[in-house]
Amino acid sequence: MKTNASWGGRFSEGPKEAVADYTESVSYDKNLAPQDIRGSQAHARMLARQGILTEEEGRILVEGLDKVAEEIRSGRFVWRSELEDVHMNIEARLTEIVGDVGKRLHTGRSRNDQVGLSFRLYVSDSLAQWQVLVRALVQRIASIAADHADHILPGCTHLQPAQPVSLAHHLLAYAWMLRRDYDRLTDTLHRVRTSPLGAAALAGTTYPLDPVSVAEDVGFEGIYPNSMDAVSDRDFVLEALFDGSLIMTHLSRLCEELILWANPNFGYIRLSDGYSTGSSIMPQKKNPDVAELMRGRTGRVDGALMGLLTVVKGLPLAYNRDLQEDKEGFMDANHTVSTSLHVMEGMLSEITFNTDRMEEACRRGFLNATEMADYLVGKGIPFREAHHITGHAVALAERKGCTLEELALDELRGLDSRFEDDVYPVLDPRAAVRRRETPGGTGPKSVAAQLEKLRAWCAAGAE
Ligand code: ARG
């Protein structure tokens, strides 16, 4: 086994084969190649600007890296695991292409700050992509909600029928969760877009670098004030993973509802064939596997977050090789989050809502009991007492096997003499929805206002 060309000077023997396999990261960090090349080109341009390299050398390095990028894109690049990671693979190939000047690229830089920049660029690109997908999903939910502003279903607490709500209102709750996820990503991105370059191995460097200009060159907002923090900080990945976990949590909750709603006992929705699967033994089955997998995959992202929190918790300053463990979890999470957002958008676009069934469900389960109590309050009865009288009405209806509105006026009067004929229109579930016009309530004006805000937000993103 050969010694590693980039650090093997003091070694008389290369790593054992099992050790080389154990320590390599190129098998997965090769995904960082485009970002690593962007970072290296910015570094090379800065070295030339600062007179640390000649302009000619800077140009040769930048163009050489373009050639390496092209080889990687076209699949011609040969990845060598004995070169450990993406950084050394790219540098070795660059030096083959441009000759000895390739060996100058690493001036004033360590792999510790290099990997930090490459991975921050990777996380930054990933989060920007999540934002595009989140916005598309919000837009989809808003447009479905707009089609269902007039439909009602039982809103639940404790998964028990509580009060009727509009279907639009129910769906928009998810749009607002995702809207917050979007903002959280924006906030995280400020911290992700901070460049560690210039920290070198841990203490800074003796070359007259201009790290701020490198940060600007790659589109970042600034640099770290402390070099030891710069090379060992993984907050940016942890935050990104948390944001991903929360996105998945929101998708998972929606999945759970879709799974329930698709159950024939609810019968509120039909998932399209393209987003369902069958059973190999029970011919009648149509299973919501896509929603189930999405709910299940939430665990992978949560796992990546917990995994990395655990990796980082005991690390002394500054860089430790443990930090190489930040990548696979994030890459897996990235794949899970982006495919889930995309698939959810498609699945929702093909759902059929059985709105008759939803409306019918509003007429069972005494969802209008609060309306009756509020009606009695309107007749001057204190709420606690009104609640009690309504409780008696529910018990009576239950005994008779009917709904509250099916109780005759003299039966209601038997419970309290203040009931009058005008109670019946109040008990209509549609009227119950119409009356709830507090800000953020399920009333039509409130729902229209929500839709308006979300639409404006989606349109602003499309500019
Ligand atoms: N592959 C390493 C990582 O992902 C690169 C940095 C290695 N630095 C070192 N001094 N061994 O963290």
Does ligand 1 lie within 6 Å of residue 118's CB atom? no
pLDDT exceeds 50 at position 38 = yes
Integer Cα distance of 270 and 268 in angstroms: 7
Asked if residues 249 and 294 have their Cβ atoms less than 8 Å apart, the reply is no
As a whole number, mean pLDDT of residues 179-203 equals 98
Q: Is ligand 1 within 6 A of the CB of residue 334?
A: no
Q: Looking at residues 217-246, what average pLDDT do you find?
A: 98
State the average pLDDT over residues 15-43: 96
Dump strand ranges (E) for 131-202: 152-157, 160-166, 194-195
Measured from the CB, is residue 106 less than 6 Å from ligand 1? Answer: no
Residues 319-352: tens digit of each pLDDT: 999 999 999 999 999 999 999 999 999 999 999 9
Residue 267 pLDDT exceeds 60: yes
Q: What is the pLDDT of residue 1?
A: 44
pTM above 0.75?
Answer: yes
Pocket test for ligand 1, best of 11, 30, 109, 112 (most atoms within 8 A of CB): 112
Pairwise CA distance, residues 401 & 404, whole Å: 10
Task: Quickly state the pLDDT bin for 291 (edges 50, 70, 90).
Answer: very high
Place of tokens 């024939």: 264
Instruction: Give the distance (Å) from ligand 1 centre to CA of residue 170.
Output: 48
Q: Is 111 in the pocket of ligand 1 (CB under 6 A)?
A: yes
Ligand 1 pocket, residue 231 CB under 6 Å: no
Going by pLDDT thresholds of 50, 70 and 90, the confidence category of residue 70 is: very high
Q: Cis peptide leading into 318, omega within 30 of 0? A: yes
Residues contacting residue 228 through CB under 8 Å, at least 6 positions apart = 199, 202, 203, 317, 318
What does the CA dihedral 430, 432, 434, 437 come to, rounded to 10 degrees? -160
Closest residue (by CA) to atom 2 of ligand 1? 324
In angstroms, what CA-CA distances link 318 with 45, 87, 110, 309, 312?
A: 27, 20, 13, 16, 11
Please check the confidence at residue 2 and state whether its pLDDT lies above 60: no
pLDDT at 32 over 60: yes
Which pLDDT score is estimated for 463? 63
Average confidence (pLDDT) over 284-313: 96
Residue 12 is predicted with a pLDDT of 84
Catalytic positions, written as ranges: 158, 279
Ligand 1 neighbour 321 (Cβ under 6 A): yes
Residues 108 and 421: beta-carbon distance below 8 Å = no
Say if CB 307 and CB 254 are below 8 A apart: no
Pull the structure tokens for residue 404: 């509250």
SS3 221: coil
Helix (H, G, I), strand (E, B) or coil at 234: coil
For residue 434, report the distance from its CA to the centre of ligand 1, in Å.
61
- For the CA of 84, the closest atom of ligand 1 is 1
Task: Please state the atom number of ligand 1 nearest to the C-alpha of residue 319.
Answer: 10
